[in-house]
Structure 1
Amino acid sequence: MSAYVVIDLDIHDPDGFQRYADAVLPLMREAGGRNLVVDQAPVVLEGDWRPSTLVIHEFPDRAAAQAFWDAPAYQPLKALRRKHSCVRVVVGAPG
């Protein structure tokens, strides 16, 4: 069953973050993931959550999402992402 990674993304350095984005997409695809949403103007319907950019990735299941997150090849990219942005990340699956 699919799992969804939901990201509240605040980019501090767009050029630096683009290097991360260019490198991470092939790794995510190799893990079976894909982008569903990248919205730089999400609409808050209720509550105090105010994401600058909302990103949603889909993976085949929670194990695939976790394997991607923990993959050795992704670790240096996490450091690059942290250097150029701030994120809050959760993963969830139906059921």
Structure 2
Amino acid sequence: MSAYVVIDLDIENPDGFQEYVDAVTPMIEKAGAHNLVVDDDCLVLEGDWRPRTLVIHEFADEEAARAFWDAPGYQPLKALRRRHSTVKVVVARPR
């Protein structure tokens, strides 16, 4: 069953963050995942959550999402991302 990586993204350095995007996009595709949503103008219906940019990636299942997250090749990209942005990341699984 699909798993969705939901990211609340605040980009602090767009040029540096683009370096991350360029490197991570092929890794996401290789993992069999894809972007469902990249939205920097979400409609908030209730509450005080206002993500700067909301990103949702769809993976085949939770194991695929965790394998991507823990992959040795992704670790340096996490560090790159952290230099240029702040994120909150969760995995959601349909029931």
| Equivalence for 1:4 | 4
Could you tell me how far apart the structure 1 residues matched to 2:40 and 2:13 are?
Answer: 15
**Mind listing any 5+ residue stretches in structure 2 that lack a counterpart?**
none
Classify the secondary structure of the residue corresponding to 1:6: strand
1:3-49 CA-to-partner distances (Å, cap 9, x unmatched) read 00000000000000000001001101111110011001111111111
1:1-95 equivalences in 2 (<5 Å): 1-95=1-95
Identical columns (%): 72
Structure 1, unaligned runs of 5 or more: none
Bigger Cα displacement from structure 2, 81-90 vs 28-37:
28-37
The TM-score normalised by the length of structure 2 is: 0.98
Q: CA RMSD for the aligned pairs?
A: 0.5
2:72 partner amino acid = P
Paired residue secondary structure (2:20) = helix
Q: Deviation string for 1:27-85 (max 9, x for gaps)?
A: 01111110011001111111111100000000000000000000000000000000000
Question: Runs (4+) of structure 1 moved beyond 6 Å?
Answer: none
The residue type paired with residue 37 of structure 1 is V
Task: Tell me the distance in 2 between the aligned counterparts of 1:22 and 1:35.
Answer: 14
